[in-house]
Chains A and B, each alone.
Chain A
Amino acid sequence: MPVLAYCIVESELEIDVPHVGVQDASIQSLTDSGLRCFISDYAASAAATGKPVQDAAVAFNAVLQRIFRQTAIVPFRFPTILQGTSELSGFLRQGASGYRDALLRLRNKVQMDLRISFLDHAEAAAEIPVGRSGTEYLQRQQARHQKLAAAARELRRAGGPSVERWSEREVPNGLRCYALVARSSIKEFLGQVENALLSPDLSARVTGPWPATEFLKED
């Protein structure tokens, strides 16, 4: 039976685990190499498009958040479906040392996601109006990059000393930033970052706390 993998935690921790997860399947766990991995049986024959997948993703996140409120986790990307538990055990053994180190290092840390986007959809797509040149396109692209970079710098500055680490990724419609913050500093971080001053044609959406997936590896 295929299994859906949720997340990895340190094996010796006592955790209050949800009884059911995606597709109302029972949450089980597998322990190997000092790690504990939460899984549930997954029926691939269930409807696999549209709302059922969306509902499954929400149910998946609910399981992660319930465990994450209690301890650091290494979540799997949704959906990670393996053929069985032996495959999962092999995966845990292969990466055990790195995951144990990460879980220890990130034990009291969370990730805050900041998504910067243009309010003007045409600007977001960096579209070229008909009749304009490629040079103008490149200049617009450069200006766009600079604006996004400036917004990221401002958000990082505004976050203050509660930001322990920071990373960024360009996405088609803007920029994603990730801040590593101590769990005890979440409110302080949010209170500071909401006062960041951005260009009026930009907005930033801050969500979290999430598991610190961007920071699993040390610098």
Chain B
Amino acid sequence: MPRASTNVIIASNDALGDVSVLDILDHVLTQGVIVRGNLIISLAGVDLIYVGLDLILTSVETALRHMGPFPALASGHDEP
């Protein structure tokens, strides 16, 4: 039986923290109150926003799958 390991990574969200852009995207796109029926509004260009979000969500999920155990630590302003 494999031995247990302490494979827990802490990415703090405080002022000096090392939470990554992916962590931020992952959180703000999946958590929070939804105003039902209002994510798409009847303005030109909104469909583009929605499609863009789909691409972002796919990218975040795909990126998270490939993040590995010790992703490169980055500030909140770094590129993923």
Contact A77-B41, Cβ < 8 Å, known A44-B49, A119-B68, A197-B4: no
Q: Interface residues of B, CB < 8 Å — how many?
A: 53
Task: Give the CA-CA distance A194 to B68 in the complex, in Å.
Answer: 17
Which residue in A50, A77, A115, A195 is a CB contact (below 8 Å) of B31? Answer: A77
Closest to A214 in B: B31
Task: Give the CA-CA distance A106 to B29 in the complex, in Å.
Answer: 21
In the complex, A10 has a CB within 8 A of chain B: no
In the complex, B16 has a CB within 8 A of chain A: no
Which residue in B28, B39, B65 is a CB contact (below 8 Å) of A124? Answer: B65
Task: Give the CA-CA distance A173 to B63 in the complex, in Å.
Answer: 11
Contact A194-B10, Cβ < 8 Å, known A61-B27, A62-B76, A200-B2: yes
In the complex, the answer to whether A76 meets B32 with C-beta atoms within 8 Å is yes
Closest to A5 in B: B35
Question: Chain B 14-44, CB within 8 Å of chain A: the 1/0 string?
Answer: 1000010101111111111111001101011
In the complex, the answer to whether A87 meets B38 with C-beta atoms within 8 Å is yes
Interface of A is mostly: mixed
Contact A77-B21, Cβ < 8 Å, known A61-B27, A194-B10: no
Which residue in A53, A58, A80, A209 is a CB contact (below 8 Å) of B52? Answer: A53
Shortest C-beta distance, A77 to chain B (Å), equals 4
In the complex, A2 has a CB within 8 A of chain B: yes
In the complex, A139 has a CB within 8 A of chain B: no
From 40 to 80 in chain B, residues with beta carbon under 8 angstroms from any chain A beta carbon are 41, 43-46, 48-49, 51-53, 55-56, 61, 64-69, 71, 76-77, 80
Q: Using A76-B34, A125-B65 as known contacts, list a sample of 11 further A-B pairs with CB atoms less than 8 Å apart, ordered by residue number in A.
A: A50-B56, A61-B24, A80-B34, A113-B27, A194-B8, A197-B5, A199-B4, A206-B10, A207-B11, A209-B13, A211-B32
Q: Which residues of A does B touch, CB under 8 Å?
A: 2, 5, 8, 44-45, 48-50, 53-54, 57-58, 60-62, 64-65, 74-83, 87, 91, 113, 115, 117, 119, 121, 124-125, 155, 172-173, 190, 193-211, 213-214, 216
